[in-house]
Amino acid sequence: MKGASMHSEMMKTQKPSVEWFDGFTKVMLLVMFIFLTGIFISAKYMASHKMEGGGTDDTVNAMASKVSGTKSHPFVELPGDAEVGAFSIANFFVGVIVGHQWTVLFGKNARKEETP
């Protein structure tokens, strides 16, 4: 019983771990998912109404498919440049979140706390 009370006292006196999933990160992720939802909904609408939204990537993929004799298959199938837009939005928000947490992740204080 004595060991359990000592453990609970040690837990109270230890510093809390670094919180990376803070309010800023939650808001940025929420805004990112709202943007991505809009892109996916508009892409689905365009596909269901047979709308063309081709851009540079479609042109390059068509030329490469003709030369190689194979059909290109993207990782996420979205019409036109919606795919590029979705990945650009996701990369932008990941960059903002990592930039916001840069000192927490890679700063000198974070490294000092990790060493015993």
> Would 13 be classed as within a structural domain?
no
Alpha-carbon distance of 54 to 74, in angstroms, equals 14
> Would 62 be classed as within a structural domain?
yes
* pTM of the predicted protein model: 0.50
Angle at which helices 23-48 and 82-100 cross, to 10°: 180
Structural domain boundaries enclosing 71: 22-114
Spell out the per-residue pLDDT of the chain, length 116, in tens: 455 554 555 445 555 555 777 888 888 899 999 998 998 888 888 878 877 766 666 677 778 888 888 877 666 677 767 777 888 898 999 999 888 888 887 877 655 555 55
> Would 86 be classed as within a structural domain?
yes
Number of domains in the chain: 1
Instruction: Answer whether 53's CB lies under 8 Å from 80's CB.
Output: yes
> Would 3 be classed as within a structural domain?
no
> Would 102 be classed as within a structural domain?
yes
> Would 78 be classed as within a structural domain?
yes
> Would 4 be classed as within a structural domain?
no
